[in-house]
Chain A
Amino acid sequence: MLKTRVIPTLTLRGSRLVKTCQFGPARDVGHPVKAPMVYDAQLADELIFVDMDASREGRGVERIEAAISALAGSCFMPVTAGGGIRSLEDIRLLLLAGADKVSINTAVIDDPSLIERAAERFGSQCIVIAIDVRRASDGAYDVFATGGTRQTGLLAVGWARRVAQLGAGEILLTSIDRDGTMSGYDLDLVRIVASSVDIPVIASGGAGRLPDLVDVIMVGRAAAAAAASLFHFTDISPIKAKAYMKRAGLQVR
């Protein structure tokens, strides 16, 4: 049976890993090669590795490419790389460096045809579209680009449907409001997006306690739970998380 996935997310800033709060202030959380190896040993199902400042700072994929390369001989697990991807060549370099999937956000908002072109060239299964969302005062789920700094005028469900139609393999859905707060995933957001598309949704933003991981799958209908603060700042490991999820009735590895 297909298993529900638990995916630690690692954010790269400079030469260190950090954890942000609501895409803002950041804390240092470790070394870009040692930390992934620990997650690998703890049976994390995949890793997501993001250079979240790349778009905002106008940089390309060099940093994330170097980080992925450094991992390739020691971690034999699926890795998604993201941050600053703007072209097919960027994708090719990251896949060549050892990434299995790439996560693209700002570039496809600026040019949605990049999704189609990337899916055609590399296959949809490599293409994860990251959608960062803030909830407006009227309850609307607004999509933001460029590391959460630019309002796009797009709404989460409409944009999710469009990217799925254009050939995205998965959606990485992040609640900016919940990021780093450990107050739980935005279950309404996850559920309405997951129910509206035919591709898997990886939920991100807000995991703080073990029950959050169960709720986001059972209530949110996500295919996978991504988490960062949960693993960085508590004693919960992927092994512990999956044992809890299994006792709750979920199919985990």
Chain B
Amino acid sequence: MEPGVTRTVAVIDYGMGNLTSVAKAFAALFAEVIVTSDPKALSNAERLVLPGVGAFGQGMDNLRRLGLVGALHREVIERRKPFLGICLGMELLARDSLEQGHHLGLGWLDATVRPLEPVGQTLKSIHIGWNDIRPRGECRLFTGLGTEPCFYFVHQYWLDCLDSDVVTATASYGRELVAAIQRENIFGVQFHPEKSQETGLALLRNFLHWQPDRGSC
């Protein structure tokens, strides 16, 4: 980390679940954290985090209602600020979701969100618990975390991503699930780094210090 640089992170509050832990995790990593639902405030942050737990449709409604869809497009797509979507926050990047009907997402990924299916007696329709992920390629979100770091998952839907180039990690739950994506400055994780103790904090630290450069990832 460059001396004297404080990272400013906006944790976006769009009324979808627990963002206290996300905010406190970044604070524990010495970032300056703004928790906000104000689209204008996003322009003050150096990087953005979209957390979230809950229903896709409700999440998109809230983003639209708060005027955040346009602001996210401006800050992330146009201004290319580093962005991290966590759980629902990653799912919302999809083109659409089949959760409780059919809903359109932000469309930043060529993907559809689908319900998890139970597999026999052992794999239930909710993926809850710690699971290993297998990073692919050289994604710097996973630098220093070992070959199969373990994170905490809690979700019922999965990202069916048609563009395999953006998939940076998978986890095994009946099928190979997308555990993480990256498209240039846009990162997404299906699991909860803010609930994954030291491994999770290390990943958030990697996000905090990620800079785009001439190389890959």
A-to-B contact residues, CB < 8 Å: 1-5, 40, 43, 45, 72-73, 76-78, 95-101, 120-126, 169-170, 195, 198-200, 221, 223-224, 253
Considering only CB atoms and an 8 Å cut-off, how many residues of chain B contact the other chain? 37
Q: Which residues of A contact B126 (CB under 8 A)?
A: 124-125, 169-170, 199-200
CB-CB under 8 A from B192, the residues of chain A are 78, 100
Given contacts A78-B154, A123-B53, contact A2 B123 (CB under 8 A): yes
Complexed CA–CA distance, A196 and B87 (Å): 29
Which residue from chain A places its CB closest to the CB of B19 in the assembled complex?
A96
Q: Select the residue from A120, A123, A124 with max chain B CB neighbours within 10 A.
A: A123
Given contacts A1-B132, A2-B129, A2-B173, contact A126 B17 (CB under 8 A): yes
Q: Is the CB of A124 within 8 A of B25?
A: no
- Determine the chain B residues whose CB is within 8 A of the CB of A122 once the complex forms: 17, 53-54
- Let me know if B152 and A73 touch, CB within 8 A: no
- B130 close to A253 (CB less than 8 A): yes
| B118 at interface, CB cutoff 8 A | yes
Q: State A118–B175 Cα separation when bound (angstroms).
A: 29
In order of increasing CB-CB distance, the 5 nearest A-B pairs are: A3-B130, A98-B20, A123-B54, A73-B24, A253-B130
Closest A residue to B123 by beta carbon equals A2
User: How near does chain B come to A48, taking the closest CB pair, in angstroms?
Assistant: 13
Interface status of B41 (Cβ within 8 A of chain A): no
Contact A76 B130 (CB under 8 A): no
- Chain A residues in 8 Å Cβ range of B127: 2
When distances are taken between beta carbons in the complex, the residues of chain A under 8 Å from B155 are 125
Most interface-central of A95, A97, A99, A100 (chain B CB within 10 A): A100
Query: How many angstroms from the CA of A77 to the CA of B201 in the assembled complex?
Result: 11
Contacts of B28 in A (CB 8 A): 73, 76
Q: Which residue of A lies closest to B24 (CB)?
A: A73
A-B contact pairs, 14 of them (CB 8 A): A1-B172, A2-B129, A2-B172, A72-B21, A76-B194, A78-B192, A100-B21, A123-B53, A169-B126, A169-B156, A199-B125, A199-B126, A200-B126, A223-B128
B200 cross-chain contacts in A, Cβ below 8 A:
76
**B150 contacts the other chain (CB 8 A):** yes
Which secondary structure characterizes the binding site on chain B?
Answer: mixed
Partner of A198, one of B21, B118, B131, B172: B118
**Within 8 Å of chain A (Cβ to Cβ): is B196?**
yes
How far apart sit A185 and B81, CA to CA, in the bound complex (Å)? 52
Chain B positions 184 through 217: 1 when the CB is less than 8 Å from some CB of chain A, otherwise 0:
0000000010111100110000000000000000
**B55 within 8 A of partner (CB):** yes
Cα A24 to Cα B152 in complex, Å, equals 34
User: B127 to nearest A CB, angstroms?
Assistant: 7
> How far, in whole Å, are A78 and B152 apart by their CA atoms in the complex?
8
**Residue B98, interface by CB 8 Å:** no
Chain B residues 8-65 with CB under 8 Å of chain A are 17-18, 20-21, 24-25, 27-28, 53-55
Closest to A253 in B: B130
Contact present for A224 and B129 (CB under 8 Å): yes
Report which of A43, A45, A99 forms a contact with B18, defined as CB distance below 8 A: A99
Residue B124 at the chain A interface, CB threshold 8 Å: yes
Assess whether A95 is in contact with B131, with CB atoms less than 8 Å apart: no
Residues A170 and B195 in contact, CB atoms below 8 Å apart: no
Instruction: Assess the B154–A200 pair: CB atoms within 8 A.
Output: no
Bound: A224/B201 CA distance, A:
24
A72-B196 Cα distance, complex, nearest whole Å: 13
Report the Cα distance A100→B155, complex, angstroms: 12
- The interface residues of chain B lying within 8 Å CB-to-CB of A123 are 17, 53-55, 156
- New contact pairs (18) apart from A4-B129, A77-B195, A200-B128, CB-CB < 8 Å: A1-B132, A2-B123, A2-B130, A3-B131, A72-B21, A76-B28, A78-B152, A98-B18, A100-B53, A100-B192, A122-B17, A122-B53, A123-B55, A170-B128, A198-B124, A199-B126, A223-B124, A253-B130
